[in-house]
Amino acid sequence: MVFSIMSYPQNTHRRFCTKLFNGTTYAKYNDPIQNKTTSVHALARQLLGPSYSAGVLELNASDARGIDVVRSKIKGFAMNKVNLPQGRHKIIILDEADSMTSAAQQALRRTMEIYSNTTRFALACNVSTKIIEPIQSRAAILRYSRLSDEQVLTRLKQVCTFEDVSYTDDGIEAIIFTAEGDMRNALNNLQATHSGFGHVNQTNVFKVCDQPHPTTIRAIIDYCV
């Protein structure tokens, strides 16, 4: 679900924590690239500590999400008693919740109401209109946006230093350009370029990403004009 949590301002981090443990958190943005689920996992790991494995249940796109799953797996987890740090709650993470059937969402709504004292629900989706209104009205909605170029640049340089990656400034700029605010894409392109060429520069990045060089695009536009 990242959007790396380290990319958030500190006040946003605290606000997310507050919402997560004061009610259902419904994290959404109409874009599948922003690592919404990862951010919830990062916060859950920090807040639950050693109890993270026992206190978190995630159902992702590969799991069946029909009404039977809600009535059995989700309800069963919510009913179980788990030793957690004082004042903490179990967390159920539903990735791509907008793919759940309407009947399953209705069953989920009821489960959320019954176990609100012991369990928090984090729903991540790409299309908010596919989430039924009764669930939306019970949720704190967080909208995720793309990372700024400065945030991507900072993380890329940290990774390059840690992994001893040879790079040029124009190579990093090319990765930022091709990533379009997606940290996952930026890191994948960095790794692919380093693995393929051993050096990250502008030419190598555009070869790996299979994108035309900006100067080529500019030349084509100038020619058309």
> Which class is 5-143 in CATH?
alpha beta
Percent pLDDT > 90 in the chain is: 44
- Is 176 within 8 Å of 186 (Cβ atoms)? yes
The residue-averaged pLDDT of 120-143 equals 87
Name the one residue in this structure whose structure tokens are 């109409």.
30
Position 142 confidence tier, pLDDT thresholds 50, 70, 90: confident
**What is residue 69's predicted lDDT score, i.e. its pLDDT?**
80
What pLDDT, on the 0 to 100 scale, is given for residue 3?
A: 32
Question: Would you list the domain boundaries of the chain?
Answer: 5-143, 149-224
Does residue 160 surpass a pLDDT of 70? yes
User: What pLDDT does residue 1 have?
Assistant: 32
Is it the case that residue 213 has pLDDT exceeding 70?
yes
**In 71-194, which ranges are E strands?**
90-94, 119-125, 139-143
Report how far residue 175's alpha carbon sits from residue 182's, in angstroms, rounded to the nearest whole number.
10
- How far the first Cα of the chain sits from its last, in Å, is 43
At 90, give phi and psi (nearest 5°).
-65, 155
Residues 59 and 46: their CA atoms lie apart, in Å, by 20
Q: Is the pLDDT of residue 13 over 60?
A: no
Please give the CATH topology (third level) of the domain spanning 149-224: Helicase, Ruva Protein; domain 3 (1.10.8)
pLDDT tens track for 36-63: 788 889 889 998 999 999 999 998 755 6
Q: What is the mean pLDDT of the chain?
A: 83
For residue 190, what is the enclosing H or E element?
Answer: helix 183-197
Give the amino acid at 178: T
Residue 224 has pLDDT above 60, yes or no: yes
Tell me which amino acid residue 103 is.
A
What does pTM read for this prediction?
0.72
Note the pLDDT tens digit of each residue in 52-95.
999 999 987 556 667 888 888 889 999 999 999 888 999 999 98
Interior angle at CA 50, CA 47 and CA 56, nearest 5: 65
Q: Is the dihedral of CA 147, 150, 151, 154 positive or negative?
A: positive
